[in-house]
Chain A
Amino acid sequence: GAVVSQHPSRVICKSGTSVKIECRSLDFQATTMFWYRQFPKQSLMLMATSNEGSKATYEQGVEKDKFLINHASLTLSTLTVTSAHPEDSSFYICSAREQGWYNYGYTFGSGTRLTVV
């Protein structure tokens, strides 16, 4: 089945630094990837939709300059949290869809726990 690899699984960074999270589709081409944020004991909140070769589309209220998304290839999307602050600490999850997603659905990565100290 489709596999999405997300790295790193955990990262601790100092306030003011930037952190990059990678999301790779291992055995399929993902023209569209999605980035979510999840707060403790809450559901997933969609942050942005990433299409290969074009600018990401951000959901209302998500700062595009803070959360930089790049989808340079059909198998890789990255999320960079710039000038991170403690309030950016959260669980970030990516997902990808392949052709025929109507039938196969979406595949999710294993998530990244970001802690900003």
Chain B
Amino acid sequence: KQEVTQIPAALSVPEGENLVLNCSFTDSAIYNLQWFRQDPGKGLTSLLLIQSSQREQTSGRLNASLDKSSGRSTLYIAASQPGDSATYLCAASVAGGTSYGKLTFGQGTILTVHP
């Protein structure tokens, strides 16, 4: 059974810092890994998706990497801003078996960027 773990659980940084959020998964048989942002009381906004054959994806100040062999993904946020404050979730899609295509979520990292 796929298990996804995110470290740290919470992170508080001053504005302007570069930061890294970590995500690890136990089963490397995935189709892709997706990073989401969730604001309080809201749904999920997709940030980046990395296919299993890819190593990284970039969007603006965000860069996500994937190392399937070690079961790890990182989300790098450059020059953090107060507006980046949210919960960040990673999710791995299961390849094959009865759980085909289902997403397994990590517990999330609560990010606070203070001015």
Interface residues of A (CB under 8 A from B): 6, 32, 34, 42-44, 46, 49, 91, 93, 95, 97, 101-111, 113
Please tell me if the beta carbons of B107 and A43 are within 8 angstroms of each other in the complex.
yes
**Out of B43, B49, B93, B103, which one reaches A111, CB within 8 Å?**
B43
Q: Which residues B77-101 have CB closer than 8 A to chain A?
A: 89, 91, 93, 101
Residue of A whose beta carbon sits closest to that of B49: A105
Number of interface residues of B (CB under 8 A): 22
A97 / chain B contacts, CB cutoff of 8 Å: 101
- A109 CA / B44 CA spacing, docked (Å): 7
- A109 CA / B43 CA spacing, docked (Å): 6
Please tell me if the beta carbons of A110 and B43 are within 8 angstroms of each other in the complex.
yes
Please tell me if the beta carbons of A43 and B43 are within 8 angstroms of each other in the complex.
no
- B28, CB-defined interface residue at 8 Å: no
- B42, CB-defined interface residue at 8 Å: yes
B42 to chain A, nearest CB (A): 6
**Out of B32, B44, B103, B106, which one reaches A102, CB within 8 Å?**
B32
Please tell me if the beta carbons of B107 and A103 are within 8 angstroms of each other in the complex.
no
B24 to chain A, nearest CB (A): 14
14 sampled A-B residue pairs with Cβ under 8 A: A6-B43, A34-B103, A43-B105, A44-B89, A93-B43, A95-B103, A101-B101, A102-B51, A105-B32, A106-B46, A106-B91, A107-B46, A108-B44, A109-B43
Residue of A whose beta carbon sits closest to that of B53: A102
A103 / chain B contacts, CB cutoff of 8 Å: 49, 51
Please tell me if the beta carbons of B42 and A110 are within 8 angstroms of each other in the complex.
yes
Please tell me if the beta carbons of A43 and B49 are within 8 angstroms of each other in the complex.
no
B37 to chain A, nearest CB (A): 11
Residue of A whose beta carbon sits closest to that of B45: A108
- A46 CA / B4 CA spacing, docked (Å): 14
